[in-house]
Amino acid sequence: MEFGIKPNPADMAQPWWTERLGDAATLFAKARRFGAAFVEFVYEESMPPADLAALGRQALGAGLGCSVHPYLFGDMAAEVFDPSRRHAHEPMLQAVGELSRRSAGPVTIVYHGGRAECEPHHVPLSDATAAAKRFFAWVGARVAEDWPNVRVFCETQYPAGPEDRFHRVGDTYQTCLDLVDGTGVDLCWDFGHTFAAHRMGKHAEYPPSEFLRRVGHIHAHDTADVEGRPLDHQLLGTGYAPWRESFRLLAEAGFAGRVLLEVGLWTRDGYDGLKRMLAHAADEVAPIFGAARRRSPR
C-alpha cells in the first residue's frame, strides 16, 4: 500500500512554510522516513513546468514516487478543450514525461473534469461536459503514445452547492464514469467529495461496482464539523465520513493503486503531525486490504 502527501509548490516557497517545514529536500527526506511512498504536487498554469520537473527529480532522488494534481482554469481547463488547445498541455506533459523516464514506478496525473457556467469561460454545462470528454480521450491517448509509465485519472469533484452559481463537471460516480468511458483514463475516488455529493442527494453513499473497477487512485480524507459546518480534507479518524467502508469496498474490488492523504501539511503540527498521519494510515488502512486478501478465494 503506497501512501502519499500533497504539497503545493507555491506554498513551499513562502516564508511561513520554510519556517515551519524547511526546504523541499527536508520535506521529502522526512516524508520518506515516516512511511510516505509518493508526493502529489499541486500544479497551476502559472507554474513553470521546469520547476515541476525539478521538484519531481528531488522527490525521486529521495526515494519517493511522483504524482501531479493540476488545477486548471485558463487555456488548459477541461471545459474548453478542443484540438486547437492541445498544445497548451504539452509543456506540463513533457515535464511529467521526463519524470516518468526517471521513475521506477508510475507517475500519475489526477485531473478534474472542469467547471461550467462561471468565469472565465462561461461554458454551458452540456458543452463543458462534452469538452471534458474530449479532453480525457485525448490526454489518455497522448500519454499512451509517448509515456507508457504515466497513468491518468479523472477525480470525483466536490459538488457545487445550491448557493453556488456554477457547476462542476464529474461530481458524481456516474458522471465521472461517463467522462472516461471508452478512454484509457481511470478514476480517482475522492472520499470527501463523494460523501458531500451523497449528503446533497446527488448519488448513493457508495459507488456501483463498475465505478469501483475503474478506481486506480484515492484521495483519502475525513469530514468533520468545523465552526458549525461540515468540512472535508480532515485527518482520517477525526470525523464521520465512512472511509473505512470505502476502503473495504476497494479492497474487495482488488484496488492496488496509490492513496493520497489529502490534508494540508502546514496545519498538522509540523513533522510530528506528518509522522502520526502516516503511522495512522499504515495502522488503520493497510490491515483492511490484508483482511480482504485473506478472505479472497484462492
CA distance 73 to 133: 16
Query: DSSP class of residue 161?
Result: P
Q: Tell whether omega for the bond before 120 is within 30 degrees of 0, i.e. cis.
A: yes
- What percent of the chain clears pLDDT 70, i.e. is strictly above it? 97
Residue 295's pLDDT is 63
CA distance 27 to 134: 37
CA 186, 83, 43, 95 torsion-angle sign: positive
Any idea which residue has 490491515 for its cell? 287
Residue 298's pLDDT is 45
Q: List pLDDT tens digits, range 145-171.
A: 999 999 999 999 999 988 899 999 999
258, three cell numbers: 496509490
Query: Residue 50 contacts by C-beta under 8 Å, 6 or more apart in sequence?
Result: 95
- Of the pLDDT bands very low, low, confident and very high (cuts 50, 70, 90), residue 292 is low
For the chain, domains (ranges, CATH) are: 2-295 (3.20.20.150)
Query: DSSP class of residue 8?
Result: -
pTM for the predicted model, two decimal places: 0.96
CA distances from 126 to 117, 165, 175, 183, 202 (A): 10, 16, 12, 19, 18
Query: Residue 180 contacts by C-beta under 8 Å, 6 or more apart in sequence?
Result: 136, 140, 154, 186, 187, 214
Task: Reply yes or no on whether the pLDDT at 247 is more than 90.
Answer: yes
Task: Reply yes or no on whether the pLDDT at 208 is more than 90.
Answer: yes
What average pLDDT does range 3-24 have in this prediction?
A: 94
